[in-house]
Amino acid sequence: MVSPFLVQLHEALELGLKVIYRIADIFFGRLIELEVRRGFGRICLRCLLALALFFVLNVRLRLRIFFQHRVLLQLLLNKRLELECWRLQQRE
Same domain flag for 9 and 31: yes
Q: Is the pLDDT at 19 greater than 80, yes or no?
A: yes
User: Domain containing 70: what range?
Assistant: 44-92
Q: Is the pLDDT at 42 greater than 80, yes or no?
A: no
Q: Is the pLDDT at 39 greater than 80, yes or no?
A: no
pTM across the whole model: 0.34
Distance CA 37, CA 23 (A): 21
Looking at per-residue pLDDT, the higher value among 82 and 7 belongs to: 82
Same domain flag for 36 and 66: no
Phi then psi for 2, rounded to 5 degrees? -95, 135
| Band (2; pLDDT cuts 50, 70, 90) | low
Count the domains in the chain: 2
Same domain flag for 65 and 38: no
Same domain flag for 53 and 89: yes
Q: Report pLDDT for 1.
A: 58
Looking at per-residue pLDDT, the higher value among 14 and 44 belongs to: 14
